[in-house]
């Protein structure tokens, strides 16, 4: 999708799924050096994209990300009452410098993340917008799953404080560590010790466009969002002249209008309009109107926000996805916004360069396995493996003898 002029941008961008795509040809030495064979399913090769000619679908680990390119993948775009086609909110952002970031880890997103077969050793930075289950419900499953699948360093979670200490990110993580203490204890020793650790970086939710992360040429800032209670935020990531904005959940607010400007990709919730929300849940119209227009951002309001922010691409998410609901959202947005637009679906992929933005869908395997772990993971320090007590071990059935343990 050319972005030099609005005349070259379709008013609505949709992903197209195709069944089979064969990418043939020999790899250059550069491509071979930049590709991990451990992450590559059999029969696939990673190639560099030339002249902006992307395949119609994104097949994970078949494309080398350009050194000045950003790739955004929607891992979840739906509601707390998730469906098979729309789990709760999460976005993966990959950069040409090798860095990877996760924004929110809503319930259900982990299966979509695993379907991409990522290098989990590099997935150690998480930014949460607020502490609703549809934004952090898969935090501990991700922590354990990535620890099992190649991550041997601590997870770093960045998130807002709350109006009281008990309502902030640190308290949330402390509670998760307590609740999952048995699980973590059983894996410590069998898995790399450092991979079981969680480092919390809590910041003041009231800060306005202040830096919360700055490393390797990447700067991430936060500002307040208006949603349910104090303690919600939005983020902007800037790298290599590109800017991605993740709104989290929010009512239209002055901070987003100011700090999301000049975004290449600006994502913001585009919630169901009241009538459609009432019909879907069986709510009365008053409750649906309150939720849609006071706690969230309904489609016409989303359109007004994007008409002011003017991103190269506006991305709406956080809806109950069905043909009729998507039509209701689109109709509302187009009453107030006529710019470049994508209504996000799970596994929608957005490639961003200074010249182009390409929107399409990922095609993934139904029974994908995680990538093989690296030698660094295998050699990472471990304490002694944990075992049940002698009292419990005395209950082993004498009719079975396990095979001998191989040497490491």
Sign of CA dihedral 110, 114, 120, 123: negative
Q: pLDDT (tens digit, 9 = 90+) per residue, 377-397?
A: 999 999 988 899 999 999 999
Mean pLDDT for 161-186 is 97
* Residue 167 lies inside a defined structural domain of this protein: yes
Q: Please give the pLDDT value at position 323.
A: 85
Q: Is residue 381 part of a domain?
A: no
- Mean pLDDT over 1-9 rounds to 38
Output phi, psi for 182, to 5 deg.
-65, -45
Report yes or no: 27 and 63 within 8 Å, Cβ to Cβ.
no
The structure's pTM equals: 0.89
For residue 309, tell me if it sits in a domain: yes
In a domain, 315, yes or no: yes
In a domain, 218, yes or no: yes
> Does the pLDDT of residue 358 top 60, yes or no?
yes
> Pick from 268, 243, 254, 354: which is nearest to 319 by CA?
268
Phi and psi at residue 375, in whole multiples of 5°? -60, -35
Per DSSP, the three-state class of 359 is strand
Ramachandran region of residue 245, left (φ > 0), alpha (ψ -120 to 50) or beta? beta
In this predicted structure, the answer to whether residue 36 has a pLDDT above a threshold of 80 is no
Quick check: is 162 in a domain? Answer: yes
- Distance CA(343)–CA(322), nearest Å, equals 12
Residue range 19-31: mean pLDDT, rounded: 31
pLDDT at 41 (0 to 100): 55
Assigned domain for 406 exists: no
Instruction: Give the chain's mean pLDDT.
Output: 89
As a whole number, mean pLDDT of residues 21-42 equals 38
Span 240-286, pLDDT tens digits = 999 999 999 999 999 999 999 999 999 999 999 999 999 988 999 99
Give dist(CA 233, CA 169) in Å, integer. Answer: 12
Q: What is the mean pLDDT of residues 165-171?
A: 98
Number of domains in the chain: 1
Q: Give the pLDDT score at 52.
A: 86
Q: Which domain holds residue 326?
A: 11-374
How long is the chain?
408
Averaged pLDDT for residues 146-166:
97
The answer, yes or no, to whether residue 205 has pLDDT greater than 90, is yes
Radius of gyration of the chain (CA): 22
Q: What are the counts of helices (DSSP H) followed by strands (DSSP E) for the chain? A: 13, 18
Mean pLDDT of 208-231: 98
Whole-angstrom Cα distance, residue 236 to residue 309? 13
Find the mean pLDDT for residues 17-23.
29
* CATH code where residue 40 lies: 3.60.15.10
In a domain, 1, yes or no: no
Residue 204 reports pLDDT greater than 70: yes
> Contact 62/54 with Cβ under 8 angstroms?
no
């Amino acid at each position: 999708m050319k972005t030099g002029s609005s005349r070259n941008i379709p008013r609505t961008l949709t992903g197209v799924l195709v069944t089979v795509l064969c990418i043939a040809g020999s790899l250059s030495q550069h491509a071979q050096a930049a590709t991990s064979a451990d992450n590559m399913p059999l029969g696939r090769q990673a190639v560099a994209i030339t002249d902006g000619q992307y395949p119609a679908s994104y097949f994970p680990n078949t494309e080398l990300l350009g050194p000045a390119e950003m790739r955004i993948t929607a891992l979840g775009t739906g509601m707390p009452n998730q469906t098979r086609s729309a789990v709760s909110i999460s976005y993966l952002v990959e950069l040409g410098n090798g860095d990877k970031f996760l924004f929110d880890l809503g319930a259900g997103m982990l299966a979509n993340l695993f379907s991409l077969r990522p290098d989990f050793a590099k997935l150690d930075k998480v930014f949460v917008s607020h502490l609703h289950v549809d934004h952090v419900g898969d935090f501990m499953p991700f922590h354990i799953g990535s620890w099992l699948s190649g991550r041997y360093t601590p997870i770093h979670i960045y998130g807002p404080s709350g109006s009281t200490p008990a309502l902030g990110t640190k308290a949330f993580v402390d509670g998760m560590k307590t609740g999952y203490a048995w699980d973590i204890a059983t894996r410590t020793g069998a898995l790399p010790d450092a991979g079981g650790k969680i480092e919390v970086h809590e910041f003041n939710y009231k800060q306005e466009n202040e830096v919360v992360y700055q490393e390797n040429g990447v700067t991430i800032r936060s500002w307040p969002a208006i949603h349910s209670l104090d303690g919600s935020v939005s983020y902007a990531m800037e790298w290599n002249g590109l800017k991605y904005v993740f709104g989290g959940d929010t009512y239209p607010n002055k901070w987003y209008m100011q700090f999301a400007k000049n975004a290449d990709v600006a994502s913001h919730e585009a919630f169901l309009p009241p009538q459609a929300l009432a019909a879907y849940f069986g709510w009365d119209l008053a409750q649906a109107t309150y939720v849609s227009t006071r706690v969230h951002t309904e489609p016409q309001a989303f359109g007004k926000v994007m008409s002011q922010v003017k991103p190269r691409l506006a991305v709406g998410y956080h809806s109950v996805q069905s043909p009729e609901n998507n039509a209701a959202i689109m109709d509302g947005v187009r009453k107030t916004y006529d710019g470049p637009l994508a209504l996000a679906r799970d596994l929608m992929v957005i490639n961003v360069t200074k010249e182009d933005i390409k929107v399409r869908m990922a095609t993934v395997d139904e029974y994908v396995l995680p990538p093989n772990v690296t030698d660094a993971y295998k050699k990472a320090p471990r304490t002694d493996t944990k075992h049940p007590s002698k009292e419990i071990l005395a209950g082993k059935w004498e009719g079975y003898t396990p095979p001998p343990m191989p040497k490491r």
